[in-house]
Amino acid sequence: MSIRGAAYIAGVYEHPRREIPDRSLAQIHAEVAFGALSDAGLSMSDVDAYFCGDGPGLGGLSTADYLGIRPVFLDSTETGGSSYMAHVGHAAAAIAMGKCRVALVTLAGRPRSEKLGARSGRNFDNTPEGGFEEVFGGTLAGLYAMAARRHMYEYGTTSEQLAEVKVAASLHAQHNPHALLRKPLTAADVLNSPLISDPLHTYDCCVITDGGGAFVVVSPEVAKSLNRHCVAVLGECEVPKGVSAAPVDLTHTGAVWSGPRAMAEAGVTPADIDYASIYDSFTITVLLTLEDLGFIPKGRGGEFVASGALRAPDGALPFNTDGGGLCSNHPGNRGGMTKVIEAVRQLRGEAHPAVQVPDCEIALAHGTGGSVGTRAVSATLILGREAV
């Protein structure tokens, strides 16, 4: 069964604040939930499905109770930053099967206020791999740095080329009044920032923010009844990649599998994509993902980003026009939610005029959950501007 055209995203909302010391996680979930429902022209009483993998307490159960809803379909899929693309696909499938009609998806986090690093929210010591990997003191930045260094060794990629990913994101972020970092940067700025884990510098890393977001996925019948431009769900796929199947190749991600499957379901190719929201935990994440999704051949990502291809509105493949996780928002250390939201904005023509992609018809949103240096889940979502 294909989900193409089986569901639509009717409402989106991104929390405007990047530091929220005066709200609980549940309160942030509620604020973004009401925001997305209002954007869709719906109310909490319309919700019959709830998707939440990061809620406090018993996750989606506790948060649904807090929101005062009684969904007939509940999904607590947890694949880190890629969860939200997966939630769209799961919601569309549930709608296609007649399980629900209005699915609410929320995210909330407070790592900035709580002074937590990139690993907040999980106890990695209790994972199956913890006793074999954590004991050696590996860090998340270190694992991504390994992937970056290997790509440099295999293909001649340079730190200057990686820096251009951050430069493009910063040029977009200057137009976002809510972005944490709004100053346009140069490649020299990135290379002169403190080294975090060779070869990655401070500006090669995403920001850490409080915040959250939400979106509402609805059936075609509900979409037709709304006075809102609803964005069509065309295809989705999520695929994990680990280290248990040797040999381990640090130069590719699960996007080599999720991308082609999602595009095939949507009936599109990389050449059809007008805009791409790419998970950007680190600059190397973007470069690897672009290659694995088929936008450029493996090993040519450095040349591609250095050409200015990622810059909106006229680059070959405008990306992350809100500034992305590198400059704007990485709420709760999960950047997937904002990737979906900005893709919807582009398809509706609601991005900032300075970065709005002309005639944006097809958008891709891609999430990475975990670490490309060990194990991660890649999830690819294809969305279309087409009306109901």
Task: Supply the pLDDT for residue 43.
Answer: 98
Nearest residue to 222 (alpha-carbon basis) of 31, 34, 49, 35: 49
Q: How do the pLDDT tens digits run along the chain, 388 residues long?
A: 799 999 999 999 999 999 999 999 999 999 999 999 999 999 999 999 999 988 888 888 999 999 999 999 999 999 999 999 999 999 999 999 999 999 999 999 999 999 876 554 445 567 788 777 777 778 899 999 999 999 999 999 999 999 999 999 999 999 999 999 999 999 999 999 999 999 999 999 999 999 999 999 999 999 999 999 999 999 999 999 998 876 789 999 999 999 999 999 999 999 999 999 999 999 999 999 999 999 999 999 999 999 999 999 999 999 999 999 999 999 988 999 999 999 999 999 999 999 999 999 999 999 999 999 999 999 999 999 986 6
Residue 331 CA from chain centroid, whole number: 10
Neighbours of 115 (CB within 10 A): 9
Q: Measured between alpha carbons, how far is 287 from 291 in angstroms, rounded to an integer?
A: 6
CA distances to 10, 18, 76, 78, 385 from 263, rounded to whole Å, are: 22, 33, 25, 23, 15
- pTM of the model as a whole: 0.96
Per-residue DSSP letters for 28-72? Answer: HHHHHHHHHHHHHT--GGG--EEE-SS-SSSTHHHHHHHHT---S
Task: Supply the pLDDT for residue 386.
Answer: 81
Three-state DSSP class for residue 295: coil
CATH class of 8-114+210-232: alpha beta
* Span(s) in the chain for CATH 3.40.47.10: 8-114+210-232, 138-207+235-384
Task: Supply the pLDDT for residue 123.
Answer: 53
Residue found under tokens 């970056």: 148
Q: Measured between alpha carbons, how far is 2 from 308 in angstroms, rounded to an integer?
A: 35
Residue found under tokens 């640090």: 250
Contacts of 247 by beta carbon, 8 Å cutoff, 6+ apart: none
Say which CATH superfamily domain 138-207+235-384 falls into: Thiolase/Chalcone synthase (3.40.47.10)
